[in-house]
Amino acid sequence: MISYTLKCENDHSFDSWFQSSSAFDKQHDAGMISCPNCASTSVEKTIMAPRVSPARKLGKQPEVEKKTTDLAPQTDAEKAIAKLKSEVEAKSEYVGMEFAAKARAIHDGNAPERSIYGEANPQEAKNLIEDGVPVLPLPFMPNRKVN
């Protein structure tokens, strides 16, 4: 896994994880990476400091240091987003990449009304908004459910 610091055309900075640098390139070229603040797909990598581990001393095993800053939100904004995420996950159904179709079906009365969350590409989200389907972007990435 590799973490990149990215910036959109509106100068919003955000971090994202990718399986490899080629995975980033593939998603970037397909327009699948969007800014969590404004949904712009015009993003680029920014300069970032590499994470370098200190050299190991001969004959001594390195001590593993747990960083609570990497595990728990620290700022009020991070705490609020973490709380929102837990509430959304507890009170809504994750529908994955079928979000646009399911949101439209609920809005049109073709599916039972319920709270859902999932993923949509920028064009799908724009179409939903233009058609009056009440949706909004969430300030976090959902935990994808895998088999």
Give the chain's domain count.
2
Is 59 within a domain?
Answer: no
- How many angstroms separate the CA atoms of 75 and 81, rounded? 10
Sign of the four-CA dihedral 56, 57, 59, 61: negative
- How many angstroms separate the CA atoms of 128 and 108, rounded? 11
pLDDT at res. 66: 47
pLDDT at res. 109: 93
39-69 exposure pattern, b = at least 16 Cβ within 10 A, e = fewer: eebebeeeeeeeeeeeeeeeeeeeeeeeeee
Is 124 within a domain?
Answer: yes
pLDDT at res. 7: 92
**Residue 120: how many other CB atoms lie within 10 Å:** 20
- How many angstroms separate the CA atoms of 27 and 114, rounded? 31
Per-residue pLDDT of the chain (147 residues; tens, 9 = 90+): 688 889 999 989 888 888 888 888 898 898 889 988 898 999 998 876 666 666 665 555 555 544 444 556 678 888 888 888 889 889 999 998 899 999 999 999 999 999 999 888 889 988 999 999 988 888 888 776 555
Say whether 117 sits in a helix, a strand or coil.
strand
Is 99 within a domain?
Answer: yes
The pTM of the whole model exceeds 0.85: no
Is 66 within a domain?
Answer: no
- The residue range of the domain holding 28 is 2-45
Pair 84, 142: CB distance under 8 Å: no
Give CA 87 to chain center in angstroms: 17
Is 32 within a domain?
Answer: yes
Is 137 within a domain?
Answer: no
81 & 41 share domain: no
**Residue 117: how many other CB atoms lie within 10 Å:** 19
